[in-house]
């Protein structure tokens, strides 16, 4: 069954919840929100297009999850606590089952991170999903790309390259994004591509510890390159220190997995810099969050990112790079 526009909006509205800081939510031309006193608003937006950001056959639950996850990752990189979001849907056909499954994935992640949907838009067209997410952070404490200093350690969370390895497997026809794989390692890679984990708890905990931060959406080289450019510094990465999962190693070998970690993208882990004096605090934080934090390099004078044997500018996924 296909839904009319207002039926679709109502179906989504019933999944939202009331909260004191939402003065007026879905139902008017715009929402009314009440930020906390003494905090700054952090706003980000991302659009996902079918066939560009996810395979066309990706299950709608996974699409709903990832649509929100990429925005939560941006908030995490700024050290912000998620608060509100709006959702714009372009759908070729608003099938009831598809919309319900999409909403299941979207709101499962939203509820995990206490973010409330307060509005949006729907239209008919090619499958495209856009979220504007808003978070809050104490005034003057947000993590930024322009604060790295020479001598800082460079850290990353989790493991890198898993999503890129999964994408290569899908392109080769050896990974089905539609259902769990029989092999645990293959399914781990599929999940890393389909349902990335935004590091929200880490991002908020890094306020006061990290200096500069960015989320890894386009590959470590490219995203760390943004920190270098904005901070006016260079970076030295040790490829042997990159955290690589056993699944990625088994799938394509260590050398290719390292390349995926450097250039692959879609990890949605955090890369951040911190003074060497913060190493003990970061070890304690990693233990408390049960999340590996790995020191992979150092900020140096100069510009660009070096991997030891070669220096390189940003190298990762770029939209319109064939235009």
Binding-site sequence positions: 29, 44, 46, 53, 74, 120-121, 145, 215, 217-218, 266, 317
Alpha-carbon distance of 268 to 71, in angstroms, equals 10
Q: Which residues are annotated as a binding site for ATP?
A: 120-121, 145, 217
Q: Which residues are annotated as a binding site for Mg(2+)?
A: 29, 44, 46, 74, 121, 215, 218
Q: Are 120 and 246 in contact (CB under 8 A)?
A: no
Q: Are 103 and 97 in contact (CB under 8 A)?
A: no
Q: Are 222 and 229 in contact (CB under 8 A)?
A: no
Q: Are 211 and 281 in contact (CB under 8 A)?
A: no
Q: How many CB atoms lie within 10 A of CB 318?
A: 12
Q: Which of 316, 266, 268 is nearest to 54 (CA)?
A: 266
The secondary element (H helix, E strand) that includes residue 130 is strand 128-138
Q: Are 185 and 251 in contact (CB under 8 A)?
A: yes
Q: Which residues are CB-neighbours of 275 under 8 A, at least 6 positions away?
A: 149, 151, 152, 153, 211
Alpha-carbon distance of 323 to 112, in angstroms, equals 39
Q: Which residues are annotated as a binding site for substrate?
A: 53, 266, 317
Report the Cα 103 to chain-centroid distance in Å: 19
Q: Are 186 and 285 in contact (CB under 8 A)?
A: no
The β-bridge relationship of strands 32-33 and 39-49 is: unpaired
Alpha-carbon distance of 212 to 143, in angstroms, equals 6
Sheet containing 304-306: give its strands across: 212-216, 269-274, 153-157, 293-300, 234-237, 304-306, 311-312
């Amino acid at each position: 069954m296909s839904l009319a526009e207002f039926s679709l909006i109502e179906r989504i509205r019933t999944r939202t919840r009331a909260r004191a800081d939402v003065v007026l939510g879905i139902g008017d031309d715009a929402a009314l929100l009440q930020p906390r006193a003494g905090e700054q608003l952090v706003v980000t937006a991302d659009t996902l297009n079918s066939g560009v950001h996810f395979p066309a056959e990706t299950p709608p639950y996974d699409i709903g999850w990832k649509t929100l996850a990429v925005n939560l990752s941006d908030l995490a990189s700024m050290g912000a606590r998620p608060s509100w979001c709006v959702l714009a849907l372009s759908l070729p056909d608003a099938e009831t089952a598809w919309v319900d499954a999409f909403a299941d994935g979207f709101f499962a992640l939203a509820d995990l991170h206490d973010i409330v949907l307060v509005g949006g838009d729907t239209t008919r067209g090619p499958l495209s999903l856009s979220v504007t997410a808003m978070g809050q952070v104490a005034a003057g404490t947000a993590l930024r790309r322009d604060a790295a200093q020479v001598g800082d350690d460079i850290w990353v969370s989790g493991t890198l390259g898993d999503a890129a390895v999964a994408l290569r497997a899908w392109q080769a026809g050896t990974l089905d994004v539609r259902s769990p794989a029989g092999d645990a390692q293959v399914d781990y890679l599929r999940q890393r591509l389909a349902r990335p984990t935004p590091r929200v708890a880490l991002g908020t905990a890094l306020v006061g510890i990290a200096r500069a931060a960015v989320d890894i959406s386009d590959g470590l080289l490219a995203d760390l390159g943004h920190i270098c450019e904005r901070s006016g510094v260079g970076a030295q990465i040790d490829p042997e220190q990159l955290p690589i999962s056993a699944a990625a190693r088994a799938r394509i070998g260590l050398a290719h997995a390292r390349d995926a970690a450097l250039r692959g993208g879609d990890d949605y882990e955090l890369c951040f810099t911190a003074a060497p004096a913060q190493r003990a605090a970061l070890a304690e934080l990693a233990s408390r969050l049960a999340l590996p934090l790995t020191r992979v390099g150092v900020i140096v004078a100069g510009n660009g990112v070096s991997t030891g044997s070669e220096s390189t500018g940003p190298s990762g996924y770029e939209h319109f790079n064939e235009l």
